[in-house]
C-alpha cells in the first residue's frame, strides 16, 4: 500500500497522463465558424439581433443595476458602498450572462456607451474578487467561512458563467481584464479540487463546459483536465455536501450514475443540457468514446420519448425537468426557456462531433420554436416556461425572481452566428439557412460563403461559394428532416402519410448538378471556382403532425408545421377563443400573409369546426368557420388569451368556455 501522500500523487499523475494522452485525439468531424466572423443580414434574424441589442440588453441592465440588487452586491463586495447581500445565492450568474450577451452584441451592433457600461461592471467584478481568486458575493458578504462546503449552492455555476462571459468579452473586444478574473477563479478552484485533492460534484452543471472554453482560449490543458475530472466525479458517491433538499434524489442533478454509464435522461433539464454539452466538449478534445456513447444513448431517450414538438424539454414543474417517458402534457408543460437554449448548445456539439444532420434538425426545432418563444417580439418581456396550451392565464413578464431566462435567450440570439456554418480541411457545412456572410479557411485557401434566403417563410436558398482560386472540396448543406419526411428522429412525432418531398431545385450557376445525400446533408463534391452560385429550393408544404399513441395528451389531435415552424391557434385571431376549435382530417389548410404586431409572418387558414354554448348553457352548437394559426413563437404578444398547439380532429370532451 502506498503512503497517502504518494498515493494521491500517483493518482494525480495517472489522471493527468491519461487525459494528456487522450487530448491528442479528436472525434470532432468539423468545427463551427465563430459568430464574430459571421455577418448576419437575414430578414428574419437581423431585426431580432437588433432588438436584443437595443431593447433586451438595456432591460437586463436596468433590472440588474437599478431594479434588483445584483450590481449593488458587487459594489458592496468591492468596498464601493456599505450594505449587506440581497437576493438569491445564484444572482451573480445573471450579471455574467448579461455581460456575455453584451459581448456578442458589441460585435453585432457596436455601441461605445454599452461597452463603457460593461467595462464599469467588469471593474466592480475585479474589485470584488478576493486575493485567492474566489468570487461570489453571496458568500463573500455573509459567511466566507462556509464557502465550498455545500455543492448545491451554485458557486461553481456562477463561476462557469463568469468564465463564459470573460471568454466572450475578450473575443469581442480584446480586453482581458475579465478574462484575468476568470483565470484567477479557475486557478483557485483548481487549487482545491481535482485528483489527489478534494472531491466535488457541481450542483448545477455549467463549469464543465466553461472550463473547456477557457482551455480553448488559453491552451492550458489543466482546464480541460479539470472539466474531465468534474464529469468523472458524478455517480461515484465520493463527495460530501448534499445539504440542499433537492439533492435527496441525486438523479435530479444527473448524479445517480457515472456519466459514461448514463442511458436515460433524468432530473433538472437545464442542468442536464449543460452537463452533456460539457461532456461533448471534453470528448471533442480527448476522443473519449465513453462520453460519446452515453450522449448518443441519452440523446435518443430525450428525442425519442421526452421532447415536445417545439423542441422544448422538461415537462415537470416540480423538478424543472423530466418525469417519465411520454409524459408531455400541454397546458401544464414546463419547458423552461433555458432548457431550450441548452438543447441548442448540446445539439450543436453533437452535430460537430458526428457530422450528422439530425442533431441540427433538433437544434433548429428548439431555436425557432421552444427558445424563440421565450422572448417577446418587442424584446422586453419573457416566458420562463413555455406551455403548448393556455386557458388565457399565461402572460409574458418583465422579469423574474430567478432571472436566468432573459439574459440566456439574449446571449443565444446574439451568438446566432456560432450555429450557421462549420468546416474542416476539405469540407464546408451549411447548417442553418440564415442570410449571412463569412470567410472560411480550408486547407489551402480562404473561401467566401454567402447565404441569401427569406427562410423560414420561403424555401429558396442561394449560397455563393467563392474560393480565391479553383479547388476541389465538399459543400455539405443540411437536408432538413421536415423536407425528407422525418418530423423528428425516432418517430415520437410523424407527418401524415410520412410523405417525403423531393427538392424542387438544386443547381450551380443555373445548371443541374450531381449530389449525394450523406448523414442528413446534401453533399456537392466538386472543383469550385470563384463566384459559383448554388441554388436550392426546399418545398414549404404544410405538414400535419401526429404523436405516438403513448403521448396521452395528444390522442386524436394534430399539430401544424410549415418549414421549421410549429403553429398554434390563438384566441386573438379566432373570436377570442382557441380551445373550442376542432380541425377535421378533411379540412384544407392554406397559407396567408399576416402581421403579428410588426412581425410579418406566414399564417395558416382552414375551414374548421368551432363549438359554442347555446343560450341557457345546455346545448352546444358546432359551426364551420375559418380559423387562423400563427407561428408558435409569436403567441401571447397581443395580450393574454387562449392558445392551442395540438388541435382535436373530432368533437371530444374539450373546453369551450
Listing DSSP states for 131-155 in one string gives TTS---HHHHTT-GGGTTS-TTS-H
Please, which pLDDT band fits residue 598 given cuts at 50, 70 and 90?
very high
Per-residue pLDDT at 339 exceeds 80: yes
Which DSSP helix (H) or strand (E) runs through 77? helix 70-77
* 410-448 pLDDT per residue, tens: 999 999 999 999 999 999 999 999 999 999 999 889 999
Mean pLDDT of all residues belonging to the chain: 92
Per-residue pLDDT at 619 exceeds 90: no
Q: What's the pLDDT score for residue 638?
A: 97
- Here the cell at position 278 is 460539457
Angle in degrees, 0-180, between the axes of helices 404-414 and 92-108, rounded to the nearest 10: 20
d(CA 57, CA 62): 9
- Residue 73 main-chain phi, psi, to 5 deg: -60, -40
d(CA 478, CA 429): 8
Residue % of the chain over a pLDDT of 70: 92
Q: What's the pLDDT score for residue 508?
A: 97
> What is the mean predicted confidence (pLDDT) over 218-247?
82
Task: Calculate the alpha carbon distances from 587 to 342, 581, 582, 655 in Å.
Answer: 37, 12, 10, 21
* 237-258 pLDDT per residue, tens: 776 665 544 455 788 889 989 9
d(CA 214, CA 171): 12
Exposed / middle / buried, residue 332 (Cβ in 10 Å: 0-12, 13-18, 19+): middle
Sequence length of the chain is 657
Please, which pLDDT band fits residue 267 given cuts at 50, 70 and 90?
very high
Contact 417, 34 (CB under 8 A): yes
d(CA 337, CA 220): 33
Contact 195, 229 (CB under 8 A): yes
* 521-539 pLDDT per residue, tens: 999 999 999 999 999 999 9
* 462-474 pLDDT per residue, tens: 999 999 999 999 9
Please, which pLDDT band fits residue 580 given cuts at 50, 70 and 90?
very high
Cα dihedral: 625, 630, 636, 641 (round 10): 10
Please, which pLDDT band fits residue 621 given cuts at 50, 70 and 90?
confident
- Residue 460 main-chain phi, psi, to 5 deg: -75, 130
Contact 35, 106 (CB under 8 A): no
Q: Where are the domains of the chain?
A: 4-419, 422-478+504-537, 547-648
Catalytic residue annotation: 320, 404
Q: What's the pLDDT score for residue 240?
A: 63
Domains 4-419 and 422-478+504-537 share a fold: no
Please, which pLDDT band fits residue 23 given cuts at 50, 70 and 90?
very low
Q: What's the pLDDT score for residue 27?
A: 81
Number of H helices, E strands in the chain: 17, 24
Could you list the beta-strand ranges (E) of 201-342: none
Cross-strand pairs, 486: none
Per-residue pLDDT at 333 exceeds 70: yes
* 365-383 pLDDT per residue, tens: 999 999 999 999 999 999 9
Quick one: DSSP state of residue 382?
B
Per-residue pLDDT at 112 exceeds 90: yes
Contact 162, 174 (CB under 8 A): no
Q: What's the pLDDT score for residue 620?
A: 80
Q: What's the pLDDT score for residue 241?
A: 60
Per-residue pLDDT at 11 exceeds 60: no
Q: What's the pLDDT score for residue 236?
A: 87
Please, which pLDDT band fits residue 314 given cuts at 50, 70 and 90?
very high
Tell me the fold of 4-419: Glycosyltransferase (1.50.10)
Per-residue pLDDT at 141 exceeds 90: yes
> What is the mean predicted confidence (pLDDT) over 491-507?
81
Cross-strand pairs, 608: 625
Q: What's the pLDDT score for residue 192?
A: 98
> What is the mean predicted confidence (pLDDT) over 479-491?
94
Q: What's the pLDDT score for residue 617?
A: 57
The CATH number that domain 422-478+504-537 falls under is 2.60.420
Q: What's the pLDDT score for residue 654?
A: 57
Amino acid at each position: 500500500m502506498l503512503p497517502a501522500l504518494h498515493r494521491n500523487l500517483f493518482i494525480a499523475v495517472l489522471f493527468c497522463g491519461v487525459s494528456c494522452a487522450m487530448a491528442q485525439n479528436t472525434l470532432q468531424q468539423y468545427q463551427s465558424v465563430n459568430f464574430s466572423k459571421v455577418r448576419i443580414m437575414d430578414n428574419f434574424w437581423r431585426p431580432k439581433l437588433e432588438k436584443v441589442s437595443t431593447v433586451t440588453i438595456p432591460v437586463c441592465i436596468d433590472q440588474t443595476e437599478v431594479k434588483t440588487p445584483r450590481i449593488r452586491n458587487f459594489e458592496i463586495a468591492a468596498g464601493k458602498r456599505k450594505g449587506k447581500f440581497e437576493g438569491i445565492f445564484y444572482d451573480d450568474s445573471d450579471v455574467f450572462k448579461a455581460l456575455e450577451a453584451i459581448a456578442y452584441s458589441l460585435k453585432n451592433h457596436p455601441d461605445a456607451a454599452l461597452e463603457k457600461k460593461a467595462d464599469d461592471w467588469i471593474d466592480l467584478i475585479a474589485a470584488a474578487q478576493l486575493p485567492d481568486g474566489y468570487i461570489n458575493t453571496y458568500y463573500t458578504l455573509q459567511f466566507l467561512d462556509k464557502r465550498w462546503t455545500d455543492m448545491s449552492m451554485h458557486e461553481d455555476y456562477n463561476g462557469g458563467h463568469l468564465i463564459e462571459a470573460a471568454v466572450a468579452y475578450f473575443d469581442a473586444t480584446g480586453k482581458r481584464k475579465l478574462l484575468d478574473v476568470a483565470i484567477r477563479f479557475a486557478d483557485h478552484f483548481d487549487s482545491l479540487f481535482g485528483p489527489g485533492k478534494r472531491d466535488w460534484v457541481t450542483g448545477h452543471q455549467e463549469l464543465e463546459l466553461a472550463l473547456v472554453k477557457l482551455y480553448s482560449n488559453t491552451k492550458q490543458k489543466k482546464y480541460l483536465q479539470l472539466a474531465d475530472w468534474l464529469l468523472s466525479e458524478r455517480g461515484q458517491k465520493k463527495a460530501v455536501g448534499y445539504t440542499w433538499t433537492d439533492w435527496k434524489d441525486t438523479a435530479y442533478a444527473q448524479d445517480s450514475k457515472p456519466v459514461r454509464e448514463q442511458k436515460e435522461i433524468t432530473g433538472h433539464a437545464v442542468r442536464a443540457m449543460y452537463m452533456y454539452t460539457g461532456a461533448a466538449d471534453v470528448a471533442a478534445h480527448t476522443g473519449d468514446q465513453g462520453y460519446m456513447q452515453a450522449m448518443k444513448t441519452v440523446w435518443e431517450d430525450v428525442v425519442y420519448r421526452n421532447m415536445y414538438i417545439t423542441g422544448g424539454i422538461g415537462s415537470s414543474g416540480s423538478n424543472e425537468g423530466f418525469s417519465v417517458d411520454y409524459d408531455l402534457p400541454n397546458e401544464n408543460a414546463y419547458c423552461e426557456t433555458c432548457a431550450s437554449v441548452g438543447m441548442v448548445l448540446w445539439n450543436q456539439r453533437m452535430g460537430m462531433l458526428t457530422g450528422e444532420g439530425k442533431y441540427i434538425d433538433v437544434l433548429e426545432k428548439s431555436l425557432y420554436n421552444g427558445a424563440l418563444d421565450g422572448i417577446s417580439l418587442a424584446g422586453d418581456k419573457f416566458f420562463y416556461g413555455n406551455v403548448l396550451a393556455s386557458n388565457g392565464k399565461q402572460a409574458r413578464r418583465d422579469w423574474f425572481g430567478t432571472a436566468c431566462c432573459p439574459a440566456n435567450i439574449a446571449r443565444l440570439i446574439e451568438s446566432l452566428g456560432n450555429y450557421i456554418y462549420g468546416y474542416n480541411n476539405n469540407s464546408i457545412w451549411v447548417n442553418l439557412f440564415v442570410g449571412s456572410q463569412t470567410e472560411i479557411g480550408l486547407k489551402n485557401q480562404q473561401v467566401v460563403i454567402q447565404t441569401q434566403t427569406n427562410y423560414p417563410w420561403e424555401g429558396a436558398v442561394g449560397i455563393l461559394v467563392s474560393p480565391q482560386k479553383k479547388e476541389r472540396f465538399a459543400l455539405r448543406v443540411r437536408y432538413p428532416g421536415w423536407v425528407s419526411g422525418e418530423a423528428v428522429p425516432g418517430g415520437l412525432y410523424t407527418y401524415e402519410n410520412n410523405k417525403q418531398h423531393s427538392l424542387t431545385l438544386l443547381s450551380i450557376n443555373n445548371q443541374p448538378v450531381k449530389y449525394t445525400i450523406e448523414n442528413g446533408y446534401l453533399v456537392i463534391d466538386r472543383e469550385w471556382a470563384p463566384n459559383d452560385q448554388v441554388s436550392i429550393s426546399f418545398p414549404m408544404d404544410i405538414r400535419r403532425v401526429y404523436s405516438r399513441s403513448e403521448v396521452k395528451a395528444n390522442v386524436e389531435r394534430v399539430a401544424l408545421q410549415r418549414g421549421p415552424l410549429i403553429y398554434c391557434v390563438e384566441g386573438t385571431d379566432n373570436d377570442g377563443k382557441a380551445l373550442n376549435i376542432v380541425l377535421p382530417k378533411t379540412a384544407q389548410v392554406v397559407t396567408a400573409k399576416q402581421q403579428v404586431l410588426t412581425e410579418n409572418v406566414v399564417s395558416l387558414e382552414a375551414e374548421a369546426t368551432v363549438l359554442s354554448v347555446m343560450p341557457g348553457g345546455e346545448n352546444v352548437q358546432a359551426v364551420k368557420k375559418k380559423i387562423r394559426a400563427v407561428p408558435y413563437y409569436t403567441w401571447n404578444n397581443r395580450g393574454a388569451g387562449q392558445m392551442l398547439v395540438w388541435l382535436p380532429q373530432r368533437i371530444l370532451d374539450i373546453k369551450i368556455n
